[in-house]
């Protein structure tokens, strides 16, 4: 068993050896194949491409054919990557193969976006597109490009290529290169547009036309251009801003132009608003484009022609020449607003080079200085009465004082300000110098500027102006109302007052400070004069008072002297008492009157002490009168005189004589004036005679006549005395009797001898003389 087995083993081992030694079959193994091909490729004897699984080799030509087939199967178009995947080749290899293919057969194939596209496919698309084009009349290559996912230029080139052998003409839109039209379509649109444009008579927005015609905007513009080139459009397009542009027909432009020209030739100005209403959106530039634009002056609401300007200019010159006022607005058409008026006025003033001699109110009203002068003078002249009243009533004086107090207060409050002013005064008009000087100079300039602006403000605001005015002026003499009323009287304002209330207001506010200043100046003048007069008066009063007082005193002295001529002391005392009563009373009266007058003049007089002193003196004097003693009287008089500032002069013989002469003259005068009163005549005659005899004056009342007669008896001759005595008796009888006839009888008797008595007195003097 085992041996047989071993035999078998031996046999098998032999078999094994035999089998091993047999040459291996001649079949080429896969491994060798790969190696051989690799060898061939590396030695460039074979050009093959590996498939992606590495199991197969493909020759490029076969691959090309496969790709072509693949593309054909897919409808003429294939993604190269997809193809590579399907054919199990490397995408790079597939791409390079495709590139080679398009190079070799560029008429039939092309690569677009990594896709291989055959000409058949393009032909098909082109056919579709052209069908569509024929059907619709227009086509957008962009849309096709989107639809087929192809670049526009391919579509374009495709369409161009087939353009020649078409039954219709293909057009490209000039504004949009992606748009294609057929002839018929283009022409139909052209007709529509031309019809629309011809029908339009006024400017229309292009969008409106486009909407109306229901065509594409781009089409419209290309059609428009072609029509324009053919000169078939009666109009123009405005500049395009985005898509908003307007078609303006020529007929409209012409009509507009005619309208403007007519308007201008009729009115000699052009109103922007009116122009706007007829459809000119930018009148200023429109006018400037026009032929006549050069002679027009553009204002804010209108443009004005030379004719109006000449008129206005003439009016201005005339009013300046005649010294009245002029409102430009009256000479301009109604449409002009004040702003325009202002511009016109400024322009004309510049042109005519008039820059002085007028004020401008309300921007448009030119008022000559002459006119203002006349008006203000007139108003000032009406104020005299008022000024007098103000001064008389003391209102002015009070205001002056309170103003001064205020000023003082202000100064106290702002010491800096006053200091500044001081400095300003110091440095005012200083030229050059150190830095300090220059600095202050700048400051002053600044201040001036500030004041100016303040003034300007006050111009604009009347209310403010008033408050400022009342601050500025010591007293408001002329009120705005007064000025206004006065202006109303001015005839040039009469007819236009209603319209020009603002003008008059302006003039009033302009005149207000000026007039007030002027009035104040006048008031001050008048006040100064009055004050001067018053001081003069007082001096005169004092003088008069003094003279009168002294006269009375010297009279008194002389009378006393006369009294002393009587021997009888009893008579002396009686006479003295009378003198004290009469003359002393007179003195007291005059002093009282003077004091009262003084009080009236200076209400807050110097001092109360002064008053009291005088009153004391007067009281004392009055007491002395009743004391019947001359010495007391003299003492009181001395005191009085010192209290009223009167110096009693020493007796002067010359003056005394003069005084006597005067007294005699007075007596003689009164004698000649006295006719019917016999008692009076007798009194005066006795007095004259007394004076003539004693060379002293006497002052007596009627009851002392008998005493006087007694005195005279010694000095007169008998004849004369008897005449006097007779006259005296008659007078006594006349006074005593009650019977009317008796009285008449005595009167007639007295009348007979009155002239004798008079002569006696007069002649007696003569005799002596």
Partner 1 sequence: MEKTKQALSSIPLLKTKAGPRDVDLWPQRLKEEYQSLIQYVQNNKAADNDWFRLESNKEGTKWFGNCWVFHNQLKYEFDIEFDIPVTFPTTAPEIALPELDGKTAKMYRGGKICLSDHFKPLWARNVPKFGISHALALGLGPWLAVEIPELISRGVVVYKEKDEDK
- Binding stretches for partner 1 (CB under 8 A): 2, 5-6, 8-9, 12-13, 15-17, 19-20, 22, 24-25, 27-29, 31-32, 35
Q: How far is the CB of 10 from partner 1 (least distance, A)?
A: 8
Q: How far is the CB of 83 from partner 1 (least distance, A)?
A: 30
The smaller minimum CB distance to partner 1, of residues 25 and 719, is found at 25
Residue 45: Cβ within 10 Å count: 9
The smaller minimum CB distance to partner 1, of residues 22 and 673, is found at 22
The smaller minimum CB distance to partner 1, of residues 6 and 449, is found at 6
Q: How far is the CB of 58 from partner 1 (least distance, A)?
A: 24
The smaller minimum CB distance to partner 1, of residues 35 and 464, is found at 35
Which residues pair with residue 57 across a beta bridge?
Answer: 50
Which residues pair with residue 247 across a beta bridge?
Answer: 204, 237
Q: How far is the CB of 18 from partner 1 (least distance, A)?
A: 9
Q: How far is the CB of 54 from partner 1 (least distance, A)?
A: 14
Residues contacting residue 487 through CB under 8 Å, at least 6 positions apart: 375, 493, 504, 507, 508
- Distance of alpha carbon 276 from alpha carbon 717, whole angstroms: 128
| Element at 367 (helix H, strand E) | strand 365-368
- Distance of alpha carbon 760 from alpha carbon 527, whole angstroms: 58
The smaller minimum CB distance to partner 1, of residues 25 and 460, is found at 25
Residue 550: Cβ within 10 Å count: 15
Q: How far is the CB of 90 from partner 1 (least distance, A)?
A: 24
State both tokens at 148: 């087929």
- Structural contact between residues 211 and 196, judged by C-beta atoms closer than 8 angstroms: no
The smaller minimum CB distance to partner 1, of residues 5 and 412, is found at 5
Residue 731: Cβ within 10 Å count: 21
**DSSP codes of every residue in 684-712:** HHHHHHHHHHHSS-----GGGHHHHHHHH
Please classify residue 476 by burial: count the beta carbons closer than 10 Å to its beta carbon, then call 0-12 exposed, 13-18 middle and 19+ buried: middle
The smaller minimum CB distance to partner 1, of residues 16 and 593, is found at 16
The smaller minimum CB distance to partner 1, of residues 19 and 229, is found at 19
Q: How far is the CB of 6 from partner 1 (least distance, A)?
A: 5
| Element at 97 (helix H, strand E) | helix 91-104
CA atoms within 13 A on the CB side of 279: 16
Q: What share of the chain is helix, strand, coil (3-state, %, to 5)?
A: 70, 5, 20
Q: How far is the CB of 41 from partner 1 (least distance, A)?
A: 15
The smaller minimum CB distance to partner 1, of residues 21 and 596, is found at 21
- Distance of alpha carbon 84 from alpha carbon 92, whole angstroms: 9
- Distance of alpha carbon 486 from alpha carbon 494, whole angstroms: 11
The smaller minimum CB distance to partner 1, of residues 34 and 310, is found at 34
- Distance of alpha carbon 269 from alpha carbon 296, whole angstroms: 8
State both tokens at 765: 């003097």
| Element at 170 (helix H, strand E) | strand 170-172
State both tokens at 466: 């008033």
- Edge-to-edge order in the sheet of strand 325-327: 325-327, 365-368, 358-361
The smaller minimum CB distance to partner 1, of residues 41 and 112, is found at 41
Q: How far is the CB of 59 from partner 1 (least distance, A)?
A: 25
Q: How far is the CB of 89 from partner 1 (least distance, A)?
A: 24
Q: How far is the CB of 11 from partner 1 (least distance, A)?
A: 9
Q: How far is the CB of 160 from partner 1 (least distance, A)?
A: 59
* φ/ψ bin of 394: left (φ > 0), alpha (ψ from -120 to 50), beta (otherwise): left
Q: How far is the CB of 24 from partner 1 (least distance, A)?
A: 4
The sign of the torsion formed by the CA atoms of 457, 459, 461, 466 equals positive
- Distance of alpha carbon 683 from alpha carbon 703, whole angstroms: 9
The smaller minimum CB distance to partner 1, of residues 25 and 164, is found at 25
State both tokens at 264: 């201008």
The smaller minimum CB distance to partner 1, of residues 35 and 47, is found at 35
């Amino acid at each position: 068993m085992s041996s047989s087995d071993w035999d078998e083993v031996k046999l098998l081992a032999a078999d094994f050896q035999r089998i091993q030694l047999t040459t291996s079959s001649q079949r080429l193994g896969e491994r060798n194949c790969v190696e051989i091909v690799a060898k061939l490729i590396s030695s460039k004897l074979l050009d093959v491409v590996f498939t992606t699984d590495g199991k197969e080799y493909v020759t490029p030509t076969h691959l090309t054919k496969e790709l072509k087939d693949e593309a054909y199967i897919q409808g003429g178009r294939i993604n190269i990557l997809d193809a590579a995947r399907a054919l199990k080749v490397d995408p790079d290899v597939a791409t390079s193969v495709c590139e080679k293919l398009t190079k070799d057969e560029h008429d039939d194939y092309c690569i677009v976006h990594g896709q291989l596209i055959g000409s058949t496919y393009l032909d098909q698309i082109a056919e579709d597109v052209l069908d569509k084009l024929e059907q619709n009349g227009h086509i957008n290559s962009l849309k096709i490009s989107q639809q087929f996912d192809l670049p526009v230029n391919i579509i374009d080139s495709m369409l161009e290529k087939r353009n020649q052998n078409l039954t219709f003409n293909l057009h490209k839109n000039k504004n949009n290169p992606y748009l294609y039209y057929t002839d018929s379509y283009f022409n139909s649109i052209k007709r529509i547009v031309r019809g629309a444009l011809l029908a339009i008579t006024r400017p229309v927005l292009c969008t409106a036309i486009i909407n109306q015609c229901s065509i594409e905007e781009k089409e419209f513009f290309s059609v428009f251009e072609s029509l324009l080139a053919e000169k078939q459009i009666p109009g123009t397009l405005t500049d395009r801003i985005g898509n908003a542009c307007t078609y303006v027909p020529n007929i409209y432009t012409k009509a507009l132009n005619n309208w403007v020209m007519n308007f201008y030739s009729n009115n000699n100005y052009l109103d922007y608003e009116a122009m706007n209403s007829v459809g000119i959106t930018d009148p200023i530039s429109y006018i400037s484009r026009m032929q006549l634009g050069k002679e027009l002056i553009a204002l804010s609401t209108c443009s004005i022609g030379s004719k109006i300007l000449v008129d206005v200019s003439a009016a201005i010159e005339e009013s300046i020449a005649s010294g009245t006022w002029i409102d430009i607005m009256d000479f301009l058409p109604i449409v002009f607003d004040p702003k325009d008026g202002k511009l016109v006025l400024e322009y004309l003033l510049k042109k005519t080079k008039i820059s002085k001699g007028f004020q401008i109110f309300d921007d448009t009203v030119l008022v000559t200085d002459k006119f203002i002068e006349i008006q203000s003078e007139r108003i000032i002249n009406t104020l005299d009465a008022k000024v007098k009243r103000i001064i008389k009533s003391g209102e002015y004086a009070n205001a002056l004082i309170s103003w001064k107090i205020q000023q003082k207060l202000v100064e106290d409050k702002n010491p800096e300000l006053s200091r500044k002013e001081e400095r300003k005064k110091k440095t005012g008009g200083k030229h050059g110098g150190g830095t300090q000087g220059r600095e202050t100079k700048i400051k002053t300039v600044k201040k001036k500027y500030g004041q100016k602006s303040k003034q300007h403000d006050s111009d604009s605001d009347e209310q403010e102006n008033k408050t400022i005015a009342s601050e500025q002026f010591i007293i408001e003499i002329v009120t705005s109302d007064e000025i206004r009323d006065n202006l109303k009287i001015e005839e040039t304002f009469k007819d236009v007052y209603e319209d020009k209330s603002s003008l008059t207001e302006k003039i009033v506010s302009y005149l207000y400070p000026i007039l007030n200043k002027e009035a104040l100046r006048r008031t001050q003048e008048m006040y100064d004069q009055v004050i001067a007069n018053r001081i003069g008066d007082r001096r005169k009063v004092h003088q008069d008072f003094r003279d009168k007082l002294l006269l009375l005193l010297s009279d008194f002295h002389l009378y006393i002297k006369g009294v002393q001529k009587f021997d009888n002391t009893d008579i002396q005392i009686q006479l003295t008492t009378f003198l004290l009563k009469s003359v002393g009373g007179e003195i007291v009266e005059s002093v009282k009157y003077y004091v009262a007058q003084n009080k009236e003049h200076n209400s807050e007089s110097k001092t109360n002490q002064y008053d009291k002193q005088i009153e004391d003196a007067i009281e004392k004097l009055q007491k002395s009168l009743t004391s019947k003693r001359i010495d007391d009287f003299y003492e009181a008089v001395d005191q009085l005189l010192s209290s009223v500032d009167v110096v009693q002069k020493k007796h002067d013989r010359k003056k005394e004589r003069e005084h006597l002469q005067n007294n005699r003259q007075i007596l003689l005068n009164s004698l000649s004036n006295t006719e019917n009163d016999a008692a009076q005549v007798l009194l005066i005659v006795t007095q004259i005679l007394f004076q003539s005899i004693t060379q002293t004056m006497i002052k007596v009342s009627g009851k002392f006549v008998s005493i006087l007669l007694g005195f005279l008896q010694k000095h007169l001759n008998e004849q004369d005395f008897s005449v006097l005595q007779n006259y005296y008796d008659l007078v006594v009888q006349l006074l005593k009797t009650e019977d009317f006839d008796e009285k008449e009888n005595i009167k007639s008797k007295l009348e007979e001898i009155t002239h004798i008595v008079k002569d006696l007195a007069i002649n007696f003097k003569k005799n002596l003389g």
